[in-house]
Amino acid sequence: MGGTLRKSWTWRAIAVGTAGVLALGACGGNDDDDASGSNTGAEAEEPTDEPGDVASFCDDIDDLGLGVSIGEGYEGIDPSLAAAEDAAPDEISADVTTMAEENRAQVVAGPPPEGEPPTIPSDDFFAAANSVGDYMADNCGYQVIDVTATDHAFDGIPVDAEAGKTLIRVTNDGTEYHEVVLQRVQQGETRSVEEILALPGEGGDLLDFLGNAFAPPGVGNWAVVDLSAGRHVAMCFIPTGATTPEALQSGQADDTAELHVMRGMFAEMQIS
């Protein structure tokens, strides 16, 4: 993905996993490109996994990325959601169902009216997501990176990490909404993050989106990303002052709103 980072603050999804994304237009001026395609690019198989099959559950989560739809909705992922529910081990079965039902409810509700604030998932969703993320950290064999977000900085993102499937768990200890948007800097680019952000379009053409995790104040969320060798940067594109859904809506409409990344809320990570 490339293009202007600030433009088109349209909510696509608050999501966990690699396929679902929270995209506030942070990935580029062409962020209307297949808003739901990340979740629906392949035909989903009917659920066939045995309940409690850990390997199948991890594969389902990795392939799908459980998403909670905002805006357009993700009707096409329901078979995959059902597969994840079907394979979920007993200890997190109820949590996976909570997440899936939230997705379905928001698909039915549809996008908020124009000018209305985006719909933030319920507290039950984030509690369930935390339980599922913790289970994945313990059982799916991923590299785990635990990140704490505050106003306006990240803590816990390592300078160096290994390539491969990685679970990024974010806890929001701030008073504003935060997200970890992980992007890979294109090979050969040596300018600093500050220099990249100062370029026309805020350097979006030099950054390839991998995934992200969004969290309201006081809660957490997660994403699974597949890291490859190279330079990566985590950023937060939430507008400053976003402590309520209404504030997020204001950030969508106000192209002059200062984004957290512009306040230094980013961290680099070299993958080898």
Strand blocks (E) in 123-229: 143-150, 153-155, 160-161, 164-172, 178-185, 207-215, 220-227
The single-letter DSSP state of residue 7 is: S
pTM higher than the cut 0.85: no
The C-alpha atoms of residue 218 and residue 90 are separated, in whole angstroms, by 27
The C-alpha atoms of residue 209 and residue 182 are separated, in whole angstroms, by 6
The C-alpha atoms of residue 126 and residue 130 are separated, in whole angstroms, by 6
Strand blocks (E) in 16-66: none
Half-sphere exposure for 165 (CA within 13 Å, toward CB): 14
pLDDT of the chain, 272 residues: tens digit per residue: 444 444 333 333 343 333 333 322 233 333 434 333 333 333 333 444 455 688 888 887 766 555 554 334 456 667 777 888 889 999 999 999 998 888 888 778 777 777 777 778 888 999 999 999 999 999 999 999 999 999 999 999 999 999 999 999 999 999 999 999 999 999 999 999 999 988 877 677 899 989 888 999 999 999 899 999 999 999 998 888 888 887 776 655 455 678 899 999 999 999 99
Q: Which residue has the tokens 């952000």?
A: 197
Q: Which residue has the tokens 């396929």?
A: 19
Q: Distances from the Cα of 173 to the Cαs of 136, 148, 153, in angstroms? A: 22, 7, 10
